[in-house]
Amino acid sequence: MGQTRPMTRVQITLGSAEAVAELDEKDAPKTTKWLKEMLPIERQAMHSMESGREVYVVLDTSHGIEEENQTIYQTVGDLIVYYKPAIFVKPKWPRHIRDFLVIGFIYERDSAIRGMSGPLATNLVGKITEGIDALAREAPRMRREGFGKMRISLA
Amino acid sequence: MRKLLFELGGTGAVAEMHDDIVPKTCDAVWNVLPVEGMAIHANWSGREIMLHLHGEKILRLPPEGPGRRGTTAPGDIVYFWRSPQMSRGKQLAYSSQFQRELSELAIFYGDPAGGGLAADDPARSGRDSNLQVSTLFATLIDIPKEFAQKCEEVCHNGLQRLVVRRLERSA
């Protein structure tokens, strides 16, 4: 029997909503290791304009993220890291070859991360286990009233 | 060719209607102008803001013109109607009156998502094509940088008042 390692939990704060995610260190060891070193993260939250019910922050880092534990079938509560095409963030020329490293989550169904012309695989780094309902209320409120900052820190 | 003026946050953009291609849709939109309301940003279609029509301004128009199976492009102004059962789950960001049936003007101020296919969403058209109507009825003559910037700000800063009015010819 192998020893069970404690699972790293991170706190996600968006406006008045608080949630907790468990990192998938077994299937995404490199990305979660990098993410833990990056924490705490506090950046301007943005809502997806192309992928549905996704809120994300752009990360200011030159660190390269390898493909790991990838999926194109994101579901509610997924915490994901990937390169979002610049066309959906800041359409600076040459917009079709730039991208931004982002971390985000899906707060409701009917969402699928898109690339330039179809599904985009994302690194699945964790799952929101507490507070998804609060995020699912806060994100639409912010769509109406404006987005503030999102903070991700060790729980 | 009739023209429309879109006013958003102190900026404006002018569109020409496609009277020659979809005259009934153009007439119907023209007849409800001016319309105004709080524009919300798209979250599937890319650089698009939407103005939901409500009250006496709501339009329930049949499809018109050539079947639009192509892509959406920057500058497109689309009349969109969606039957209640075609709703994409809960639309909590919308006012309660728009969470099921939806009648709106969609303004594509920049690059659409999915190479322009996302806005059409053929997978959600249903077996009965009358469940969703999407008619390209006007195109922005140009997209002023300031207007596009204001449109993008709707995505980050929340709803913003949008007014659509007739641009009458001066005497």
Question: Which domains, and CATH codes, for chain A?
Answer: 9-154 (2.40.100.20)
The domains of chain B are located at 3-167
DSSP, residue by residue, chain A = -PPPPPPPEEEEEETTEEEEEEE-TTTSHHHHHHHHHH-SEEEE-EE-SSSSSEEEEE----PPPPP-SEES---TTEEEEEEEEGGGT---SSTTT-EEEEEEEE-SSS---B-SSSB--EEEEEEEEE-HHHHHHHHHHHHHH---EEEEEE-
Residue B102, pLDDT score? 85
For B156, the closest of A108, A117, A146 (CB atoms) is A146
What is the 8-class DSSP label of residue B168? P
Higher pLDDT, B84 or A12: A12
**pTM of the entire predicted model:** 0.91
Task: Give pLDDT tens digits for A71-123.
Answer: 999 999 999 999 999 889 987 666 667 899 999 999 998 899 999 888 999 99
Question: Taking residues A3-21, what's their average pLDDT?
Answer: 90
ipTM of the complex in this document: 0.90
pLDDT at A69: 98
Interchain pair B43, A144: CB under 8 A? no
Which residue is listed with tokens 């524009």? B39
User: Chain B contact for A95, CB < 8 A?
Assistant: yes
What is the reported pLDDT for A48?
A: 96
Q: What is the pLDDT confidence band of residue B171, given thresholds at 50, 70 and 90? A: very low
Residue A13, chain B, CB below 8 Å: the answer is no
Q: Comparing A40-44, A66-70, B26-30, B83-87, which segment has the lowest mean pLDDT? A: B83-87
Task: Give pLDDT, residue A147.
Answer: 96
Chain A residue with CA closest to B48: the answer is A49
Q: Degrees (nearest 5) of the Cα angle A20, A21, A27?
A: 165
Q: How many CB pairs under 8 A join A and B?
A: 78
Answer whether CATH 3.40.50.2000 is correct for domain B3-167: no
Subunit contact B158:A47, Cβ cutoff 8 A: no
User: Are B115 and A109 an interchain contact pair (Cβ–Cβ within 8 Å)?
Assistant: no
pLDDT tens track for B77-90: 999 998 877 666 66
* Mean pLDDT for the stretch of residues B27-50: 95
